[in-house]
Amino acid sequence: MNRTLPFLLLAVAPLALNASSLTSLTYRGGDNPNATTQPASGVVTGKVALADGQPAEGVSVLVKGTSIGTPVEADGSFRLRVPAGAHTLAITYLGYLTQEIPVEVTAKGTINVPAVTLVKGDNQLTEVQITETRNINQRPTSVGKMPVRPFDLPQSVVTVSQQTLEQQQVLRLSDAIVNVSGIYVTSTTGGTQEELGSRGFAYGSNNTFKNGVRFNNGVMPEASSLESMEVLKGSAAILYGNVAAGGVLNLVTKKPKFEQGGTAALRVGSFGFWKPMVDVYGAVGQSEKVAFRLNGTYEQAGSFRDEVESNRVYVNPSLLFKLSPKTTLVVEGDYLRDNRTPDFGVGAVDYQIFESRTRFLNVAGARNATQQTSTTATLSSRLSDVWQVRAVAGFQRYDNEQRSAARPVASVITPGPNYGNWNRNLQRSKTRENYYLAQLDFTGTFRTGFLGHTLLVGADVDQYQTNNLAYTARPYDALNLLDPTKAVSLPAGTVPVGGFDELALNTRTLGNTRRAGFYAQDMLTFTEQLKALVGLRWSYQETPSDVYTYTPPTAAVQQVTVRENRRFDNAVTPRLGLVYQPIKTLSLFASFSNSFSPNTGIDNTGRNLAPSMIKQYELGVKNDLFHGLLSANVTAYQIVNNNQAQTIQQYFAGGVLNPAWNPNFTAAQELAGEVTSKGVEVDVFSKPYLGWTFIAGYSYNNTAYTKSNIYSTGSRLRYNPAHTANLSLYYNFNNLFADHTFLRGLNAGITSYYVGDKIAGRNPRNQYDKDGNLIPDANKFITIPNYLLFDASLGYTYDRFSLRVKAANLLNELSYNLHDDNSVNPIAPRNYSATLAYKIR
Tens digit of each residue's pLDDT (9 = 90 or more) over 298-321:
999 999 999 999 999 999 999 999
Work out the burial of residue 557: count CB atoms within 10 Å of its CB; fewer than 13 is exposed, 13-18 middle, 19 or more buried. Answer: exposed
Higher per-residue pLDDT: 275 or 125:
275
In this structure, are residues 341 and 308 in contact, taking their beta carbons and an 8 Å threshold? yes
Residue 297: band (very low, low, confident or very high) from pLDDT cuts 50, 70, 90: very high
Quick one: pLDDT at residue 253?
95
| Length of the chain in terms of residues written | 841
In this structure, are residues 69 and 29 in contact, taking their beta carbons and an 8 Å threshold? yes
Of the listed ranges 15-29, 107-121, 230-244, 763-777, the least confidently predicted one is 15-29
Quote the mean pLDDT of the chain. Answer: 88
Q: Which residues does 86 contact at the CB level (< 8 Å), separation at least 6?
A: 102, 103, 104, 105
Parallel, antiparallel or unpaired: strands 41-50 and 110-112: parallel
Cα atoms in the 13 Å half-sphere on the side-chain side of 534: 5
Residue 122: band (very low, low, confident or very high) from pLDDT cuts 50, 70, 90: low
Higher per-residue pLDDT: 40 or 791:
791
- Report how far residue 214's alpha carbon sits from residue 464's, in angstroms, rounded to the nearest whole number: 11
**What residues form DSSP beta bridges with 753?**
726, 789
pLDDT at 242 over 70: yes
pLDDT at 79 over 90: no
Quick one: pLDDT at residue 11?
29
Provide the residue type at 192 as one letter. T
Collapsed DSSP state (helix, strand, coil) of residue 544: coil
pLDDT at 19 over 60: no
In this structure, are residues 578 and 532 in contact, taking their beta carbons and an 8 Å threshold? yes
Quick one: pLDDT at residue 55?
65
Q: Where are the alpha helices (DSSP H) in 766-818?
A: none
Share of the chain above pLDDT 90, in %: 63
pLDDT at 804 over 60: yes
In this structure, are residues 211 and 252 in contact, taking their beta carbons and an 8 Å threshold? yes
Q: Taking residues 364-383, report their average pLDDT.
A: 96
Residue 695: other Cβ atoms inside 10 A: 24
Quick one: pLDDT at residue 2?
41
> For 261-400+419-482+501-840, which CATH class?
mainly beta
pLDDT at 3 over 70: no
Quick one: pLDDT at residue 459?
97
Quick one: pLDDT at residue 741?
64
- Report how far residue 95's alpha carbon sits from residue 62's, in angstroms, rounded to the nearest whole number: 17
- Report how far residue 130's alpha carbon sits from residue 819's, in angstroms, rounded to the nearest whole number: 44
Tell me: the pLDDT tens digits for 510-557? 999 999 999 999 999 999 999 999 999 999 999 999 999 999 887 777
Kindly provide the b/e burial profile for residues 724-758, where b requires at least 16 CB atoms within 10 angstroms of the residue's own CB. bbbbbbbbbbbeeeeeeeeebbbbbbbbbbbbbbb
Kindly provide the b/e burial profile for residues 102-112, where b requires at least 16 CB atoms within 10 angstroms of the residue's own CB. ebebeeeeeee
Parallel, antiparallel or unpaired: strands 157-161 and 77-83: unpaired
Q: Which residues does 603 contact at the CB level (< 8 Å), separation at least 6?
A: 609, 665, 668, 669, 670
In this structure, are residues 9 and 750 in contact, taking their beta carbons and an 8 Å threshold? yes
Residue 54: band (very low, low, confident or very high) from pLDDT cuts 50, 70, 90: low
Q: Taking residues 444-472, report their average pLDDT.
A: 95
Instruction: Give whole-number Cα distances, 624 to 31, 581, 685, in Å.
Output: 10, 12, 10
Provide the residue type at 462 as one letter. D
Tell me: the pLDDT tens digits for 386-412? 999 999 999 999 999 999 999 999 999
443 φ, ψ (degrees, to nearest 5): -125, 140
Cα atoms in the 13 Å half-sphere on the side-chain side of 175: 21
Residue among 596, 635, 581 nearest 232 (CA): 635
Of the listed ranges 88-97, 434-443, 445-454, 752-761, the least confidently predicted one is 88-97
Residue 180: band (very low, low, confident or very high) from pLDDT cuts 50, 70, 90: very high
- Report how far residue 584's alpha carbon sits from residue 580's, in angstroms, rounded to the nearest whole number: 10
Q: Where are the domains of the chain?
A: 41-117, 261-400+419-482+501-840
Residue among 752, 753, 683 nearest 135 (CA): 683
- Report how far residue 585's alpha carbon sits from residue 293's, in angstroms, rounded to the nearest whole number: 38
The full DSSP string for 632-650 is: EEEEEEEEEEEEEEEEPPS
- Report how far residue 62's alpha carbon sits from residue 92's, in angstroms, rounded to the nearest whole number: 8
Quick one: pLDDT at residue 735?
66
Quick one: pLDDT at residue 12?
27
Quick one: pLDDT at residue 26?
36
* Identical fold between 41-117 and 261-400+419-482+501-840: no
Best mean pLDDT range from 106-120, 678-692, 732-746:
678-692
Share of the chain above pLDDT 70, in %: 92
Residue among 146, 556, 192 nearest 338 (CA): 192
Stated as kind and residue range, the H or E segment containing 596 is strand 586-597
Provide the residue type at 814 as one letter. L
Higher per-residue pLDDT: 52 or 494:
494
Quick one: pLDDT at residue 737?
66
- Report how far residue 22's alpha carbon sits from residue 18's, in angstroms, rounded to the nearest whole number: 9
176 φ, ψ (degrees, to nearest 5): -85, -35
- Report how far residue 676's alpha carbon sits from residue 716's, in angstroms, rounded to the nearest whole number: 10
Residue among 440, 592, 610 nearest 516 (CA): 440
- Report how far residue 838's alpha carbon sits from residue 117's, in angstroms, rounded to the nearest whole number: 36
Quick one: pLDDT at residue 20?
31
- Report how far residue 144's alpha carbon sits from residue 443's, in angstroms, rounded to the nearest whole number: 12
Q: Taking residues 443-458, report their average pLDDT.
A: 95
pLDDT at 35 over 50: no
Of the listed ranges 69-73, 278-282, 284-288, the least confidently predicted one is 69-73
- Report how far residue 621's alpha carbon sits from residue 153's, in angstroms, rounded to the nearest whole number: 11
Collapsed DSSP state (helix, strand, coil) of residue 822: coil
pLDDT at 273 over 60: yes
- Report how far residue 235's alpha carbon sits from residue 246's, in angstroms, rounded to the nearest whole number: 6
Reported pTM: 0.85
Q: Is 2.102.10.10 the CATH number for 41-117?
A: no
pLDDT at 336 over 60: yes
- Report how far residue 147's alpha carbon sits from residue 382's, in angstroms, rounded to the nearest whole number: 13
pLDDT at 645 over 60: yes
626 Rama sector, left if φ>0, alpha if ψ -120 to 50, beta otherwise: left
Instruction: Give whole-number Cα distances, 287 to 381, 764, 812, in Å.
Output: 20, 66, 52
The full DSSP string for 482-510 is: S-TTS---PPTT----SSGGGPPEEEEEE
